[in-house]
Each structure stands twice: as C-alpha cells, then as structure tokens.
C-alpha cells in the first residue's frame, strides 16, 4: 500500500478538502479572473492624443477601483523587491552603502509628483502604441511614494540584527540565502509591514496625481479612481466627488481587511521582543485561510520549496579550508572607489552651476529659495498648530484605554484618506468669502498629515507605564507642571516620530495644496509647491527640475538640522 501511494500524486490520494475549501474556492477563482482581466486591460493599444473613455457614471466606479488597486498592488510588489535588493546591497557591501544610502536620502525628499513629470515621456517611448507605457509611468509614480521608507526600514533592520543571532548564524554556517530568509527578513518583518501600511496611505493620497498625467500639453487620464476624481473636479461635480470618496473608502477598507490585517496577524510571530501580554492582532481572513487545507497545503508547499532552496547554497568548504580565509580589504580599491564617487560629485556640481547659469539664471534660483522659505514657514507653523491641537487630544485619548485602541485605528485610517478630495470644497469657500489664498490654502497641507501626530501621540500616551501614572497622581501634579514634568516628556519620542512623518508628508502635499483648482477656477498660494505645480502644468522642464532640487534641499536640511536632532535627543534622554 505504502508503495502505491508514492507513485500517485499526493493530492489525488489524500483528497482531504473541507468545507472551508469549498467556501474559499469561488472567492479565489473570482479574484483570479478579475485580476487577470484587469491586468489585460493595461496593455491595450493606445496613441498619445487619443482620448481614453472615462465616465462620471458611478456604475463604472467598481471597475475603476479594480484598475487603481491593481496598480497600487503592482507598485507595492515592485517596492518590496526594490527594498530587498537595496537593503541587502547596502547592508552587505560597504562600497555600495556609501552611494546607496545618501542616494535614497535624496530620493525620498524628492516630491513624488516630480518623478512623474520627469519620467512619463521615457515610459511612453518604451512601449510605443500601447497603453502599457502610461500605465507603467503611473505605477512608477505610486512606487516612488511607497518604496523609499520601506527600503530604509529594511536596511535599518538588517543593520540592527542582534550580534549574538548573527554569530549563531555564522557558527552554524548558514548561507547568505538561508540567513536572509531565516534571520534577516523575519527580523525586519514587523518594521517592514508597518512601513508598507504607511506607504499604502501615501499611495492613496497621490493616486489622483499619478493617474491623471499631463504630458506634452496633453492630459492622459488612465481609467481609475484617481482619474475619476480629476474629471469630477474638472466638471465641478460634487456628487461625483462624493461617489469617489465612498469608493476610495471601500478600497482602503478592502486593502486593510484583505491584505494588511492578515499580514499583520501572521507577522505577529516575528515580533522580536519575547514578552507576550499584548493582545495578538487578529484577522478573520487569516483564521479562515488557516482552517482551509488547500491554503495550508499551499503554504506547506511554499515553505518546503524554500527549505529545499537552502540546501543549494550550502557552502562546500569548511572553516579550515583555504577558501574560507578572509580576503584582506584592498585599500587601493577602496581609495579608487572613493575617488570615483568624489569625481562624480564634482562633475555633478559643475553641471549644476552650468545648468543654473545657462537655463534659469541666479535670480530665479534666489526667487525659488524665497518661495521655499514661504513653504517652510507654512510647514513649521502648521505642524506647530496641529501639535497644539492634537497633542492634548491624543494624550486625553491615550490615557483612556477603552478609547485609545479604537480611535487610534480611526486616526490611522484618516491618514490614509486622500485629503485632496476635500480641496474643491475649500476652493468654493475661499472664492465665496474672498479669503486670501496665501493664508487659507495653508491648512490643506497638514490636512492629511496631522493624523500621524494624533495616532503617534495616542500610542505614546497609552504606553506610559501605569506606575508612572500612579506616581504622578500621588504627587498631586496638576496644571502646567503636570504637562511639563510628566506628560510632555513621556510622549515626546512618539510625538517626534509623528511630527517627522507629518512634516515630510506636508512638503509633499504642498505641491497639491498650494495650487488647487475647481473647474476653471485655480487658486494659488505663493510657495515652492505651487511653483512646481505651475511649472509642471505649463511643462517648463528646467524650472521643474529647479523647484524639485530646491525642495529636496529644504527637506534634507530640515531633516538633518531639526528632526534628526530631536530624534536623537528623544532616544537618549527621554526613554522609558
């Protein structure tokens, strides 16, 4: 009997399906068919200038949502692959690290829309006569809003794998491949997932901008929720905006329930802190999948395949072989590499001066820096205002455990919500009441990003040790003293985390929020964001580049001189 079974394929013998499988089967099949069909729509013939059919009829919205979420999913996948390659290269090779880490630092401070205006022509040229080029440009734009923080998080995690675990991996002679899957990726998983969720929020926020692309004075609107919104704004249809908001909420909810929640629940086992205690995150989908034998078998098949792959990379030689001898670091190569980097930097600086000299002129540069200061002022003032409002609220919520769990989730959700959907309302109001756009457009910048402050403060306040709370009450701390000596220091680290994210997001949002339109009314606030948006609209390439570079300088400066210091201070002095 044993013999026969081995010759037959396993599934045909042990046909052990259960009712969960039957429930799962149609869902999976329908999902596969939908995704396949959506994907096939991406590669239809297309010529630049040819109008794409787009309708404001809400009947089309489910289809648009499918297209949009497919794009976001592909971008997320690309970001994941990019992050792995980047992080492994940067963490394992010092030569690569020297170039890659600063490069990423610059890349992540480039406004997302900047990428789109620069790359879209290239992508279209890549697939002439096909929609795929435009699709790829849109996916790339979403990718740029997702990839950088994921890559950084993974890189940081790889650098901070505990020394004893690394030693254990070496003593037991794990190959690089095995170490990545067994040690490094699992260790990085919680941070990576968290950043994936943040990235997804960023992606939703910019979906309008990345689907409605203007290239060579033509506007291409890819079928999707983002384009639907763009069209609704053009045609001043408030009802359509309402429908779009509902659709987007459904999309965010679906991503949360179908992708992130199961992932978070599954990744709970990768928590490195060994203490239990907290409630493990739950997901109905994961519970469902775990009950299904088919899913179980698929997971088993995958993990067995992975395990088998470990054996391919086992090093053939032992530590006593000459091949295990560490190669001396060749000082000459290192110096040559440093020299090469220096040469490229010099060359770039020279080109930059030439560019400024020939294309835009120094007066323009000074003007753009001036605009940058306006935007900087807006960012700083608004973050401060948001902090004034949300810190007390966050602390109040955080100290009440019954509220904090639920409201934290709501705040996280609000952060994912594309605030630019509400911009039209603001335009209408500003025009009606004749308000100064220089001042009254500013709040839009933090509209979507203030929630980061709120939910981080909630998290910080709810993790204040109970004993400290009792002590504060016991000492009778009240009023300002209570805030200065107890609450503010206690939440400071998490506030800084939230404020860093909010500040980065606000810079990015300035491009959308300083230049807002509703039909043919366009309101503009003086600032760097509106400069870039305006130059993009009229297609002035050198000035787009100038605006982006200046914004990059501002963001990096702010990061280095303010946030990083506060961060370090928070880590060193104010830590439980």
Q: Binding residues for other proteins, per CB under 8 A?
A: 162, 164-165, 167-168, 170-175, 178, 182-183, 186, 269-272, 274-276, 304, 307, 310-312, 314, 318-322, 324-326, 573
In sequence order, which residues have a C-beta less than 8 Å from that of residue 556 and are 6 or more positions away?
Answer: 105, 106, 109
Q: Please say which residue, 271 or 565, places its beta carbon nearer to other proteins.
A: 271
Q: How far is the CB of 520 from other proteins (least distance, A)?
A: 57
In sequence order, which residues have a C-beta less than 8 Å from that of residue 202 and are 6 or more positions away?
Answer: 112, 145, 146, 505, 508
Q: Please say which residue, 174 or 198, places its beta carbon nearer to other proteins.
A: 174
The CA-based dihedral angle spanning residues 89, 569, 163, 90, taken in that order and rounded to the nearest 10 degrees: 0
Q: Please say which residue, 277 or 401, places its beta carbon nearer to other proteins.
A: 277
Q: Please say which residue, 325 or 332, places its beta carbon nearer to other proteins.
A: 325
> Which of 458, 383, 451 has the alpha carbon at shortest distance from 417?
451
Q: How far is the CB of 322 from other proteins (least distance, A)?
A: 8
Strand partners, 453: none
Both tokens of residue 6?
Answer: 């081995």
Distance CA 165, CA 157 (A): 13
Continuous segment of H or E residues that includes residue 233: helix 225-234
Q: Token match 């994210």: residue?
A: 501
Q: Please say which residue, 59 or 322, places its beta carbon nearer to other proteins.
A: 322
Distance CA 474, CA 468 (A): 10
Q: Please say which residue, 436 or 572, places its beta carbon nearer to other proteins.
A: 572
Q: Please say which residue, 126 or 324, places its beta carbon nearer to other proteins.
A: 324
Q: How far is the CB of 305 from other proteins (least distance, A)?
A: 12
Distance CA 223, CA 63 (A): 8
Long-range contact pairs involving 285-291 (C-beta distance under 8 Å, separation at least 24): 285/257, 285/258, 285/261, 286/261, 286/262, 288/20, 288/23, 288/24, 289/24, 289/262, 291/18, 291/20
Q: How far is the CB of 94 from other proteins (least distance, A)?
A: 16
Of how many residues is the chain composed?
A: 576
Q: Please say which residue, 63 or 181, places its beta carbon nearer to other proteins.
A: 181
Q: Please say which residue, 166 or 522, places its beta carbon nearer to other proteins.
A: 166
Distance CA 399, CA 395 (A): 6
b/e sequence 79-116, b meaning 16+ C-beta within 10 Å? bbebbbebbbebbeeeeeeebbeeebbeebbbbbbbbb
Q: How far is the CB of 128 from other proteins (least distance, A)?
A: 48
Distance CA 143, CA 82 (A): 10
Q: How far is the CB of 188 from other proteins (least distance, A)?
A: 11
Measured CA angle at 207 (ends 205, 213), to 5 deg: 135
Q: Please say which residue, 282 or 304, places its beta carbon nearer to other proteins.
A: 304
Q: How far is the CB of 301 from other proteins (least distance, A)?
A: 13
Q: How far is the CB of 538 from other proteins (least distance, A)?
A: 52
Radius of gyration of the chain, Cα coordinates, nearest whole angstrom: 26
Q: How far is the CB of 323 from other proteins (least distance, A)?
A: 8
Q: How far is the CB of 179 from other proteins (least distance, A)?
A: 9
Q: How far is the CB of 14 from other proteins (least distance, A)?
A: 18
Long-range contact pairs involving 25-30 (C-beta distance under 8 Å, separation at least 24): 25/294
Q: Please say which residue, 318 or 436, places its beta carbon nearer to other proteins.
A: 318
């Amino acid at each position: 009997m044993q013999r026969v079974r081995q010759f037959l394929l396993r599934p045909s013998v042990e046909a052990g399906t259960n009712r969960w499988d039957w429930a799962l089967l149609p869902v999976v099949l329908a999902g596969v068919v939908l995704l396949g069909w959506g994907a096939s729509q991406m590669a239809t013939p297309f010529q630049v200038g040819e109008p794409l059919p787009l309708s404001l009829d809400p009947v089309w919205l489910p289809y648009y949502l499918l297209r949009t979420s497919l794009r976001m999913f592909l971008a997320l996948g690309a970001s994941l692959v990019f992050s792995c390659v980047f992080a492994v290269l940067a963490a394992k090779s010092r030569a690569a690290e020297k170039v890659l880490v600063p490069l990423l630092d610059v890349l992540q401070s480039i406004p997302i829309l900047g990428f789109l205006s620069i790359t879209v022509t290239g992508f279209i040229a890549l697939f002439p006569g096909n929609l795929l080029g435009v699709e790829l440009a849109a996916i790339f734009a979403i990718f740029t809003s997702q990839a950088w923080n994921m890559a950084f998080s993974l890189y940081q995690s790889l650098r901070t794998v505990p020394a004893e675990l690394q030693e254990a991996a070496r003593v037991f002679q794990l190959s690089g491949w095995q170490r990545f899957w067994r040690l490094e990726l699992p260790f990085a998983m919680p941070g990576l997932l968290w950043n994936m969720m943040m990235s997804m929020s960023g992606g939703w926020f910019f979906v309008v901008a990345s689907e409605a692309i203007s290239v060579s004075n033509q506007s291409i609107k890819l079928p999707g929720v983002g384009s639907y919104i763009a069209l609704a704004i053009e045609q001043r249809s408030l009802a359509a905006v309402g429908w779009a908001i509902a659709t987007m909420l459904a999309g965010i909810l679906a991503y949360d329930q179908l992708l992130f929640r199961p992932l978070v629940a599954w990744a709970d086992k990768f928590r490195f802190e060994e203490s239990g205690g907290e409630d493990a995150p739950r997901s109905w989908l994961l519970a469902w999948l775990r009950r299904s034998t088919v899913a179980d078998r698929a997971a088993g098949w995958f993990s067995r395949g992975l395990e088998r792959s470990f054996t391919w990379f086992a090093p053939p030689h032992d530590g006593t072989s000459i091949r295990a001898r560490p190669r001396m670091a060749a000082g000459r190569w290192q110096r040559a590499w440093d020299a090469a980097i220096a040469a490229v930097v010099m060359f770039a600086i020279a080109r930059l001066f030439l560019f400024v000299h020939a294309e835009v002129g120094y007066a323009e540069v000074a003007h753009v820096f001036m605009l940058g200061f306006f935007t900087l002022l807006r960012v700083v003032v608004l973050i401060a205002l948001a902090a004034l409002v949300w810190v007390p609220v966050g602390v109040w919520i955080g100290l009440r455990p019954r509220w904090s769990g639920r409201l934290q989730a709501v705040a996280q959700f609000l952060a994912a919500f594309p605030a630019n959907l509400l911009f039209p309302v603001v335009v209408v109001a500003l025009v009606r009441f004749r308000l100064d756009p220089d001042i009254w457009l500013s709040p839009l910048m933090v509209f979507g990003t203030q929630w980061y402050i709120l939910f981080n403060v909630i998290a910080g306040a709810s993790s204040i040790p109970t004993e400290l709370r009792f002590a504060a009450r016991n000492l009778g701390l009240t009023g300002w003293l209570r805030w200065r000596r107890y609450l503010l220091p206690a939440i400071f680290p998490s506030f800084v985390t939230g404020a860093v994210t909010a500040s980065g997001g606000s810079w990015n949002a300035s491009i959308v929020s300083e230049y807002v339109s509703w039909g043919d009314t366009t309101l503009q606030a003086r600032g760097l964001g509106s400069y870039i948006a305006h130059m993009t609209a009229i297609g002035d390439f050198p000035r787009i580049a100038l605006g982006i570079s200046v914004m990059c300088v501002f963001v990096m400066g702010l990061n280095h001189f303010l946030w990083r210091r506060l961060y370090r201070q928070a880590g060193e002095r104010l830590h439980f």
